[in-house]
Chains A and B, each alone.
Chain A
């Protein structure tokens, strides 16, 4: 498998410094937390993304993010890449993030595009979960 240096670096950095790269969990029951979990163990990848939101005017912005991912190297790198994009964004802006951006940023090989799709799904689900609680 020919991964780009970007995937490899992202994967290794996330693995070596999990805290710096937002690996972890929030209490999903708290009102300002939205949780998204996508994928399936049988398919080889599961992504869990949590956003901590704060109200700002008539919208919310993402203050902090935590994630955990079970999956191949590019799945882990994709989640980590997505997390970098989220902090400071409004929920509307976060909804606009498309898998192509992640795939391009990491130069994912075609066979691994589904990893970026999964990342996109995880943020949509996390926002849905947060909005349901409001």
Chain B
């Protein structure tokens, strides 16, 4: 029969992943006196040399996963810093060439907020609308490119929807127009094949903790050929060829290296297993009346599934699913009381946007967990709809758009 299930069930892998135990082992080997604890920048003794060796080995694991030169990898504190370094780094270095930047409305805040900051500094930013499926089309990028455009920043996999953008299409346009192309790939490593030897991408941000590595470490790919220059944002010692100063955190770095090595080794088996879990989940959940998948179903990763349960409010659904750890597109859980900006950008009506839940599966998700979750969802949605005046209206054949609501 079914195995015992530990509650709550973690289905929020897109938010962060647990560190793989093999990664944790590697990290603890780089901390204590009997381990490899040295400062990789120490040139005068063996402790430093050994630490440097570990750092460089880790660097080559990152490079291997995405098929680039290890010298193109710059360590950062995470994808947020990598995004900041790429965007502000390009903007500051090339501002004499132009001050226009193209990004999209569904980027992560780690891209949007640096862009806002640049706006305050006099740059002009175009925020592209996604199509209905949550994709940024090369056509929309083409229409936005101007003579003074210096940078395009578009994410690879969207964190809320799981949709995969066409990097080849967007990148070729960038190349043709002499514009740099930055990609936030925090959600795609280990999920989508990335080949930087052929992709027309100039800068790419990575995160360790979305790929079974530790939090607090990431990297930025900065292309050498054709060469991309960026202005450093953190100064103090000239580490990482001057692009990012600060003592390298060896244990974090080897953790990320090991996580990415495993990602390369296990990507195919992980993908296949998670795809099966996804289908098991989707085949069942799609039998519930009035549910909508957010994001282009044919162009997305299997580990993320974003669903709107119409006539049920997202936060109440999450409360009713207290044994399942998921995240809501509804920001009623946050201070803003607004539905997700990503779902709104898709043109979803507010009530559908605020009824959305992101389920994300991972390396340690089991069939039993998926089945148990499905039982809970069916129960919770049924109960909340019984409570919902909007569901009652739907069953009575009343179009809720035709009602004059008193907005407050």
Residues of A within 8 A of B (CB): 1, 8, 11, 14-16, 18, 23, 25, 37-48, 68-73, 75-76, 111, 114, 117-118
User: In the complex, what distance in Å separates the CA atom of A33 from the CA atom of B302?
Assistant: 50
Partner of B319, one of A43, A68, A73: A73
Tell which of A15, A40, A41 touches B383, judged by Cβ atoms closer than 8 Å: A15
**Chain B neighbourhood of A75, CB < 8 A:** 313, 316
Determine if B79 is an interface residue (Cβ-Cβ < 8 Å): no
Please tell me which one of the listed residues B315, B320, B384, B389 contacts residue A46 in the complex, with CB atoms under 8 A apart.
Answer: B389
**What are the nearest 4 A-B pairs in CB distance?**
A40-B405, A41-B351, A48-B389, A72-B315
The interface size of chain B toward A, counting residues with CB under 8 Å, comes to: 32
Q: A15-B383, A16-B383, A68-B392 are in contact. List 15 more A-B contacts (CB 8 A).
A: A14-B387, A15-B380, A40-B406, A41-B349, A41-B405, A42-B351, A42-B407, A44-B339, A68-B388, A69-B387, A70-B388, A72-B313, A72-B316, A73-B316, A111-B335
- Find the A residue at minimum CB distance from B351: A41
Interface residues, chain B, CB within 8 Å of chain A? Answer: 311-313, 315-316, 319-320, 330, 332-333, 335, 337, 339, 349-351, 354, 380, 383-384, 386-392, 400, 405-408
Is A114 a contact of B392 with CB atoms below 8 Å? no
Q: For B315, give the chain A residue with the smallest CB separation.
A: A72
Minimum CB–CB distance from A105 to chain B (whole Å) comes to 18
Cα A116 to Cα B312 in complex, Å, equals 19
Contact B316 A18 (CB under 8 A): no
A46 and B351 alpha carbons, distance in the complex (Å)? 11
Measured CA separation A118–B407 after assembly (Å): 11
CB distance from B407 to the nearest CB of A (A): 5
Are A69 and B383 within 8 A (Cβ)? no
Cα–Cα, bound, A117→B406 (Å) = 13
How many CB-defined contacts (below 8 Å) exist between A and B? 92
Among the listed A18, A23, A46, A114, which residue makes an inter-chain contact with B390, where contact means beta carbons less than 8 Å apart? A46
CB-defined contacts of A8 to chain B, threshold 8 Å = 319
- State whether A71 and B313 are in contact (beta carbons under 8 Å apart), knowing that A40-B408, A44-B332, A111-B337 are contacts in the complex: yes
The answer to whether A45 and B313 touch across the interface, beta carbons within 8 angstroms, is yes
Q: Beyond A42-B349, A45-B313, is A68–B330 a contact (Cβ under 8 Å)?
A: no
Instruction: Given A44-B330, A111-B335, verify A76-B316 contact (CB < 8 Å).
Output: yes
B319 nearest in chain A by CB position? A73
Q: Tell me if B350 and A42 are in contact (CB < 8 A).
A: yes
Contact B389 A68 (CB under 8 A): yes
Distance between Cα atoms of A68 and B390 in the complex (Å): 9
- A/B interface sample: 26 pairs, CB < 8 A: A11-B319, A23-B386, A23-B387, A40-B406, A40-B407, A41-B350, A41-B390, A41-B405, A42-B407, A43-B350, A43-B408, A44-B313, A46-B405, A48-B392, A68-B388, A68-B392, A69-B389, A70-B311, A70-B313, A70-B387, A71-B313, A72-B313, A73-B315, A73-B316, A75-B313, A117-B408
Taking CB atoms, residues of chain A closer than 8 Å to B337 are 44, 111
Q: How far is the CA of A45 from the CA of B339 in the complex (A)?
A: 12
Cβ-defined contact, A47 with B389, below 8 A? yes
Q: What is the bound-complex CA distance between A42 and B400, given in angstroms?
A: 10
Expressed in whole angstroms, the Cα–Cα distance for A37 and B398 within the complex equals 15
Check if B384 sits within 8 Å of A15, measured CB to CB.
yes
- Residues of A contacting B408 with CB < 8 Å? 38-40, 43, 114, 117-118
Q: Which residues in B have their C-beta under 8 angstroms from that of A37?
A: 389
Q: B309 to nearest A CB, angstroms?
A: 11
Instruction: Give the residues in chain A near B406, CB-CB below 8 Å.
Output: 38-40
B residues near A114, Cβ cutoff 8 Å: 408
Min C-beta distance of A16 to chain B, whole Å = 8
Evaluate contact between B407 and A70: CB separation under 8 angstroms. Answer: no
CB distance from A67 to the nearest CB of B (A): 9
**Shortest distance in angstroms between A119's beta carbon and chain B's nearest beta carbon?**
12
B186 to chain A, nearest CB (A): 25
Cβ of B389: which chain A residues have Cβ within 8 Å of it?
37, 46-48, 68-70
Given A42-B351, A69-B389, also A15-B315 (CB < 8 A)? no
In the bound complex, CA of A42 to CA of B408 (Å): 10
> How far is the CB of B318 from the nearest CB of chain A, in Å?
8
